[in-house]
A and B are shown apart, each in its own frame.
Chain A
Amino acid sequence: MTLTTAPLRKTNHRSSNLGMLLALSKTEIIKLFRNPAFIIATLALPIMFFAIFGIPNSKQSIGGVNAGAYMLISYCAYGLMTVCITSFGNSIANERGMGWNRILKVAPMPPILYFVAKTVAALAVGLLSMLSLTLFGSVVGGVSLEPILAITVFSKFLLAMITFIALGLAIGYNLSSTAAPAISNLVFLMMSFTSGLFVPLEVAPQFIRDIAPYMPAYHFAELGWMTLGSKPLADQMVHWLWLGGYLVLFLALAYRGYRRDEGKKS
């Protein structure tokens, strides 16, 4: 440190909530992309699953729609859920343990921006995950979605994803950094299986078909499948309501953990 009575040079920017949000979002996106496990889980695995299970069935049909397109949508849903659980659940549990949150807490930054930035990052990466899978599907797998249809499905998914962001928050604020990855993987895999994301419900064992209507992931994926034409769209309100109910439940759990966490430190 060879300083320095030299005057310190200041920037002339003013801080603004938007500026902070952009900087925080950028940070969150960089963090996600430098985590190889995350890239594999959100970009590589959905493509791999689609290549193994989707492409060979691309000439079949499920519930009156093309099986390839149906499974493409399943794996889009799978990818989005991974984004939420990894970028919220595991990373919050981890940062909570590190005291990084305390550093952010004493900074003059409204705490809500931290969550908004994580959401922005999750939406951006989620969109990328869906786009890359769709691109792979059409270029390699010969399964393409109508552009309007794809946009509709993506929009619904990005909105409905909030429920899984809340699930991530609930995991992140209630579990330790060592427990979070294990538990979230378990919850997430069980939920994917029992919701028909890996094996379409049409061909799944009866007990899975019995469980599915209670799973948030089922209602999530159904929003996509029915947009494809598997069911009348008029029924979609039921799925939104289920997701809304789970959203409230997960937020309540997250809030409980958050309060307990705050209480420990003040």
Chain B
Amino acid sequence: MNDSVIILTLVSAIGIGTPILLAGIGEMMTEHSGVMNLGVEGMMLVGGVVGFWASTETASIPLAMAAGMLAGVLVALIHAFFSVTLRVNQIVSGLALVTAGTGVSSFIGGLDNSALGGMRSVSTLDPVFGGDITDLPVVGPLLLGHDWVVYLSWLLVALAGFWLFRTKKGLALRAVGEDPATADAAGIAVTPIRYIYTLVGGAGAGLGGAYLTIGVFGVWQNGITAGIGWIAFALVIFAGWRPWRALVAAYIFGALRNTGFTLQIMGVEISSDILNALPFILTIVALIIISARPVAARAFRAPSALAVPYARESR
């Protein structure tokens, strides 16, 4: 039963869905502070190559993940400086990150003449729970068969949801993203919060990138993300800026990403271009459905000050 097409599809959806989820949760936190970072793809690539390089150098997965995360944070710092301190257009700055991240990651991947490209990952991520327990029908492969990064991503979803909607820190964060002038008047420091959560977004993307190269593919290749960063960006919108919805949506997007293979096995011919476009089409459909229902539109709309720079004395 654990070998059925459905179970296998779901398991592989969780595999490819995890980097989407990690990057998406990070971007979600960033956007709740009113900063939009379109550079997820670039941050994931840099995190991916640095993480992969660290794994070949240190043979330690936790260190490699940390290195990928840190790389993502550094790239996000550029965006924070441009969009929060210099208040440049966030779309321009974010798109620049994509281009720069693509270039920088290819450059790092080709350093030392010892091209990382094509090299297999030194160590692999093993499932946390070994043995018979993963043979349990359905629950085994779906809930118990994963490596620690997957469980970490679930923990992060829960933490993000709690942080955003139950704590004062989260309240302050959302206030900054909704209405920075009000937050400022209430004594909340807008700039530091926007910086911190932009970096949190970088950490998520970097970790997601590292997991993609080490945990999912086990190789580094130029441009290996192939649009996964953009899917993570769409995920935030599709999930209506809610972490728990992002968890489900990430796996739906992950499943779509893998549907091509499944359909091929089942003998159905369908263009992979269409399948790759599906997450974005779904996002648009979700937006249409939500906007047609006023109550949902209020609950699941973007933070009001998203992508709007804040200057205290502007008038």
Real binding pair? no
